[in-house]
Every structure is written in C-alpha cells, then in structure tokens.
Amino acid sequence: MNFVLVRVDNRLVHGQILETWLPFLGARCIIVVNDDVASDFFRETVIRMAVPREVDFSVYSVDEFPRSQIISEKSQKKSIVLFSKVADALRAYREGFRFDRLNVGNIYTEECVLRCTTSIALCESDVRDMIRLAQSGVVVELKSLPKDKALDFREVMKKCDRLEIEGVGNSVRRARQ
C-alpha cells in the first residue's frame, strides 16, 4: 500500500479530507485507525456514508492495524491513514506501522499546554508523544490544508520557553505569548 498521508485529526473523516487532501494527493483509499470507531458499528457506518463510493474505506483498531495485511499489500493505491490522537499514531508506530512523516492537522484539548496553530492545541501527552515520534526519526509537521505552509514540530519547540512535562525532562518548552 502506498501511504501518501499519515495524519492526526480528531475529526477523522470530514470536509478537509474529502474535498482537499483526497484530490490533492490523488488518494483512492482512506484508512481510519481508531479503537472507538472500530468497536462502534453505528459510528463506522456514519463515517462510511460520508466517503465517496469510488474511494475504498477501511477501519482498524490501533492494535489490529500494524498487523493487518493492508500494511504489507503490494498495491500502489494511494492511501490516507487517519488517527484521531497522537498517542494512537505512536502506538501503531511502536507496534510496527512505520512512517517517515506525520501530518498533524487538528487536535483540540481542554488541557492545552501548547497552542501551535489555531487548529492545533496540545496537551502534555500530545507533546510528549510527538517528541518521541520525532526522536524516532519521524518528521512531525503541523499543517491543516495542502496549501498551508507546514510547520516542523521541532522548530515550533525551539521557539518556546521551558515547560516541565513529566517523562521528557527539559526538552519541552511553553509557547511564548
């Protein structure tokens, strides 16, 4: 499978994916990796109804996805993989789903410790997990739409003052106001 976009977006499948990312990338397949959707037939059905008929659509739990046959499939079909949480992307990565680049398009949290863009507000665990992915060699980019300029997460972190987050030492900083 040709994974042309691996993205974290808490909305999963929505207008930006269907109307901008899908045509921009020429993708013919959307894969949702989410435990809640994988275990909720009604929610999966509602999302499936939003996806155009000509686009293949699959749903996997986070644990199931790295071991699925779709990972090793030799197809050149361009595919988008969607996670709703950074923690799920990290979990899939640790379980064997390898990707070089992670696009973070939309994350909302009430426990925001770092607002990177108008659509990306990170809690402590998001920051910690993005640092872990970056330390593993994954380029973490912050970008909502294809036409937007991508922000490198490491560069965003360099522009911040110190922020103590359990589990990552002094490597995290608070965004300047």
Domains present along the chain, CATH in parentheses: 2-175 (3.40.35.10)
Q: What is the pLDDT of residue 162?
A: 52
Q: What is the pLDDT of residue 49?
A: 96
User: 34, 59 in Cβ contact below 8 A?
Assistant: yes
pTM: 0.89
Q: What is the pLDDT of residue 74?
A: 77
Q: What is the pLDDT of residue 172?
A: 44
Q: What is the pLDDT of residue 123?
A: 85
CA distances from 114 to 110, 126, 128, 137, 162 (A): 11, 9, 11, 22, 11
Q: What is the pLDDT of residue 163?
A: 54
Q: How far apart are CA 98 and CA 152, in angstroms?
A: 19
Give residues with Cβ within 8 angstroms of 18, minimum separation 6. Answer: 50, 51, 52
User: 90, 79 in Cβ contact below 8 A?
Assistant: no
DSSP type of residue 13 = S
Q: What is the pLDDT of residue 75?
A: 82
In order along the chain (177 residues), what is the average pLDDT of each group of 10 residues?
A: 95 96 97 98 96 97 95 88 98 97 92 82 90 95 95 83 50 40
The Cβ of residue 32 has, within 10 Å, a number of other Cβ atoms equal to 23
